[in-house]
Structure 1
């Protein structure tokens, strides 16, 4: 195995990178996700495809480091206090899910003709879901930090902890069957060593890691910090593996211990490139490991095993989730996400085969079942997302916009609109507020705002919100494309109302001006100028000079904006100051627009009345 890894030449490396670079963007473009892309690419270049690799297990053992690094990054986000708050989910929900699913799958395996010992091991391997697949999919869907995502992580942590008792179970079953496994520890000793390793890892993380990184940081050598980060992660993983636990558990604990360190963000940045590449390599090697000859020879057994195991496991997960008071939607999504075997099954089946608990045929078939289930999981989740109706939003305590009569209609009530409302309300103006985010409406209500539910991009909602009678309509939504649609509708349907719009960026500002709004402002422009002005003052620049500098920046920005309105986004680039040595050229004349100068400075030069600057 080691010779295979060492013997990998440059061509092998190019083949691995090319397979990932081609397959992953294609599968993501098709909406199938990166995991399935890697698995398919691995199958194509593996021993049962183009035969560019003949020993995928050698690559798999190296690529497992990707899972290790992934768990380390998750640990960095999981502070000890937060981890403690999840103890019920880890040891309650996690244990219940493992036990229920193990019982269901063991019964199904015995009904299929497997001996009780083989059925228990086959079921146990499949019960432990793929950490790599689930965490990657949660990450891609942006759900890792959600409550449901945290519960999923908790279950995965418990499954990692289950490594020790399951390996001990293999030894017990082997001894009951009359076989002896060389070098086996007694079950009680394995549990004791595992607990001791966790204690040592926690102690080292609490009292040694921070001083260690502080000493290295004083050297100023960035590459040493990267090497130290890898040393800590891989050292913790190796230590846990020696203690009979999973490497992923060791990496996770190392991350948790460093989660409150001042070096946390630097460590995450150092690890990220290795994590991404190695995790992709892991999925490639899993795809290579699918033995198509076994699948073809035992296709009835493999197909029945995949369907039966995934279905029964999903039912068990759903039942446990509902028992622990998860909503129906979350329970279904968790069942779809966890209804596959995991990478630990390869280790467990290998140990069981060596101990004589599983024969070679059953081990190969069960391994194929696990790999196929891992490949099917992204497809199941995608199909479920398309079939399930959108989540129902509770409207309790929320009123729908109807017959509003405000002098000002404000569409959207996020952080920008909340500030905008203050001078209007201070003047005593009647303002109608509509928003389509129910949580935002409820939050605003606790601060004394009456906000109505309504989608401002719909004409019927605008009419119900009093747009026909409003003197000013303020478009304060945070999505540029939605703002464009609202502005176009208001301009066409309610031409007497003045339109004030929040712009996302410069390009959006240009579109809004061309669409005919009465006033627009880039959402960060004024705050950025104020920010820059105060930086100058705190660095010793006189307040009057700082104000003059900001006025000059405003003048240049307005001039460039007018040029861009006339000639496109590339115009007026010379008006921006850069930090390169090349001097910034000045325009030959002050741009004019609509017969008026753009600001006070230009007005003074031209002898005209000043015009409010366009921001």
Structure 2
């Protein structure tokens, strides 16, 4: 390249994005501030409404600004796809089935009630009813891209948010088609398109689920045997992009395909490798999306309409927070959980921008109206981390979380019981019967409050957070016992604990022998399959009833248990051999 040759705009944009990632993430991490705000501020600074305005006066600014945000839109969309893929990896079909009441109950009520109230308010302001409905539904969405990384999916707040966001993701396509049906001269055509998309979408999802269960384990097994990180990455990208294109081809949102791909891989033993290898790409792509959000904020327009925009932002946030929190309380959630979730879910979404664009193209709202609400949405996205902080603070005032008794010194040696449901309480009873000190931890405040009323030593917290376990004195723990029945969460926690505490005894509950083998591979000292224990207890009862002496029965049961345990450990070791190991590849 000659010295006077112009730099490619794509290379210039890449320089800005990578430079932003290299500066924003470490800087904000140092001050313990989420980089979400940093990326949005970078977009505001380097976008067409920031320094990009001055490119014609100072040509050198072209190398550190982005004057055409449209070039970044495909990368931003890919970031959302990777985010939904990562969320799918954290879930399972069994867990989604358990959430069905919340998804189609709470999720439906939240979207429809908020959308109807906002539409009524817009209509009162003079907006025609079709445009008012479009604006109401658009602003009723909440940000999957920002809310779930903040809340997680394991806490009561995360589960409630997840259920509502899943329903919103399902409703994106029907709402966009409905807007097309409401467009002038397009009613019948829009309805026919919706029906066609629904049946084709259901067919594609069914094919993906069947093919995924049959082909994905074989695909990743072959990739893992090569011990090539590049091939494993290529297989992961192939799956998520292929699934997204399949759903987009029939008119569904590509994020639906990405979520299903993640769910299918979560059912395989390779999900942790996939999650780890995709993590850097997800973070960078999400950063690109947030930069594009910042680029849509025009400070001059905000200054000229400051009062109106402020009223609109506060009004939308307040209405959504009150409705969401009230619905959660009516469905039995605790006041603290309802308050925190309501405030966190109050801001609009990246999906709001998509629905606003669809409504504008359908001639339901004017471009100027769309621009106003796009600015409101961008501001709402920007302050989402602040809403999360505000939600936690208000929730603590509304309902202080249970804490450890003063007599629980984190420096004492004791057993930590993770998960304090039915199984966790039985374990605690046995520990207490043998005078072994323990403390329980669970992210469900209802369980903790009930357990403390019954005299158990338990604390509210998310065990995946290092600071929660540090406060319990994990470095002095005599053992950690995992009693939850969520296998993905259990494997992840076992792996995390084993990496930090190599000598810590970790005893984990497993669903079956396959899950137990996975836990052994993750680093569990002992994994106890529920199916195995129930069969041994059944055998013991039958032998005693048949007249066999208790002593020989107990001895034979112990012998059989040890035999099964050795087989499971061997199964885990054999299955571990073809797994991808970056350390081996790197020599």
User: Does TM, scored on the shorter chain, surpass 0.5?
Assistant: yes
Spell out the pairing of 1:537-576 with structure 2 (5 A cutoff).
none
Residue 12 of structure 1 corresponds to which residue in structure 2?
Answer: 13
* Contact 1:45–1:288 (8 Å) recurs in 2: yes
Q: 2:474, 2:93 → 1: CA distance?
A: 43
Q: Give the 5 Å matches for 1:5-404.
A: 7-51=8-52, 52-138=65-151, 143-174=152-183, 177-178=184-185, 185-389=192-396, 391-392=399-400
Compared CA separation, residues 114 and 50, structure 1 to 2 (3 A): same
Alpha-carbon distance change, 483 to 354 in structure 1, aligned in 2, over 3 angstroms = closer
Q: Could you say if the C-alpha distance between residues 479 and 112 of structure 1 is closer, same or farther in structure 2, counting changes exceeding 3 Å?
A: same
* Displacement after TM superposition at 1:364 (Å): 0.8
For residues 159 and 263 of structure 1, the distance between their equivalents in structure 2, rounded to whole angstroms, comes to 29
Structure 2 vs 1, CA of residues 219 and 315 (structure 1 numbering), >3 Å: closer, same or farther? Answer: same
CA contact (8 A) 2:410 2:471 kept: no
In 1, distance between residues paired with 2:51 and 2:218? 50
**How big is each residue's C-alpha offset from its partner over 1:131-181, in whole Å with a ceiling of 9 and x where there is no partner?**
11112212xxxx42223312311211111100121011111110xx34689
Answer whether contact 1:20 1:37 (CA < 8 A) is retained: no
Give yes or no for contact 2:410–2:473 (8 Å, CA) kept in 1.
no
CA shift, 1:43, in A, is 0.7
CA contact (8 A) 1:67 1:132 kept: yes
Determine if contact 1:104/1:313 at 8 Å carries over to the other structure: no
User: What's the secondary structure of 1:145's corresponding residue?
Assistant: coil
The equivalent residue for 2:414 is 414
Unaligned runs of 5+ in 1: 1-5, 403-408, 455-476, 485-500, 505-521, 529-615
SS in 2 for 1:207: helix
The aligned residue for residue 592 of structure 1 is: none
- 1:490 paired residue number: none
Higher mean Cα deviation, 149-158 or 89-98? Answer: 149-158
Which has the greater radius of gyration?
1
User: Are residues 318 and 11 of structure 1, via their aligned partners in 2, closer, same or farther at CA, if it must alter by over 3 Å?
Assistant: same
**CA contact 1:411–1:433 (8 Å) conserved in 2:** no
Measure the CA separation in 1 of the matches of 2:405 and 2:142. Answer: 44
Kindly state the Cα deviation for residue 64 of structure 1 after the two structures are TM-superposed.
1.9
TM-score, normalized by length of structure 2?
Answer: 0.66
Distance in 2 of aligned mates of 1:437 and 1:267: 29
From the superposition, tell whether residues 243 and 434 of structure 1 become closer, same or farther in structure 2 (CA, over 3 Å). closer
Displacement of 1:211 in angstroms is: 2.8
Using the size of structure 1 for normalisation, the TM-score is: 0.63
Closer, same or farther in 2 for the Cα pair 1:133/1:332, shift >3 Å? same
- Give the SS at the match of 1:208: helix
Q: Do the aligned partners of 2:347 and 2:384 also contact (CA within 8 Å) in 1?
A: yes
Equivalent pair of 1:336/1:377 in contact (CA under 8 Å): no
Q: How many residues align?
A: 443
Structure 1 stretch displaced more, 115-124 or 181-190: 181-190
Q: 1:414 to 1:149 in 2, by over 3 A?
A: farther
1:520-559 Cα shifts (integer Å, max 9, x gaps): xx9866989xxxxxxxxxxxxxxxxxxxxxxxxxxxxxxx
1:433–1:450 contact (8 Å) kept in structure 2: no
Equivalent-residue separation in structure 2 for 1:438 and 1:77 (angstroms): 18
* Gap change, CA 1:81 and 1:293, over 3 Å in 2: same
* Structure with a larger share of its residues in helix: 2
CA–CA separation in structure 1 for the residues paired with 2:412 and 2:477: 10
Shift of 1:106: 0.8
Q: 2:340–2:394: 8 Å Cα contact kept in structure 1? A: no
Please state how far the C-alpha of 1:231 moved relative to its aligned partner: 1.1
Q: 1:6-64: CA deviations, max 9, x gaps?
A: 95343322222222333344444445422112111111111111111112233133122
Question: In the aligned structure 1, how far is the partner of 2:122 from the partner of 2:458?
Answer: 53
SS in structure 1 at match of 2:317: helix
SS at match of 2:154: coil
State the partner residue of 1:605: none
Task: State the secondary structure of the residue aligned to 2:383.
Answer: helix
1:436-494: CA deviations, max 9, x gaps?
97999x99x99xx998899xxxxxxxxxxxxxxxxxxxxxx97599899xxxxxxxxxx
Q: 2:465 aligns to what?
A: none
The verdict on how the C-alpha distance between 1:388 and 1:525 changes in structure 2, with shifts beyond 3 A counting, is closer
- In 1, distance between residues paired with 2:327 and 2:433? 51
Check whether the contact 2:415–2:477 (CA below 8 A) recurs between aligned residues.
no
Deviation at 1:503, TM superposition (A): 11
Greater shift in the superposed pair: 108-117 or 200-209: 200-209
Q: Does the 8 Å CA contact 1:168/1:190 hold for their aligned counterparts? A: no
Provide the rounded CA distance (Å) in 1 between the counterparts of 2:431 and 2:307.
72
CA shift at 1:297, angstroms? Answer: 4.2
The change in CA–CA distance for 1:400 and 1:382 in structure 2 (over 3 A counts) is: closer
Gaps of 5+ in 2: 1-6, 53-64, 418-426, 460-467, 480-499, 507-587
The within-5 A match list for 1:392-541 is 392=400, 412=412, 414-415=414-415, 479=470
* RMSD over aligned Cα atoms: 4.2
* CA shift for structure 1 position 298: 3.8
**Contact 1:106-1:120 within 8 A present in 2 as well:** yes
Q: Is the 8 A contact 1:286 1:371 kept in 2?
A: yes
User: For the residues of structure 1 that align with 2:146 and 2:224, how far apart are their CA atoms?
Assistant: 35
Is the alpha carbon distance of 1:424 and 1:280 closer, same or farther for their aligned partners in structure 2, counting shifts above 3 Å? closer
Give the superposition deviation at 1:233. 0.3
CA distance in 2 between counterparts of 1:346 and 1:126 reads 9
Counterpart-to-counterpart distance in 2, 1:450 and 1:167:
53
Residue pair 2:313, 2:380 contacting (<8 A) in 1 also: yes
| Residues 401, 452 of structure 1: 8 Å contact kept | no
Q: How many Å apart are 1:370 and its aligned residue?
A: 0.9
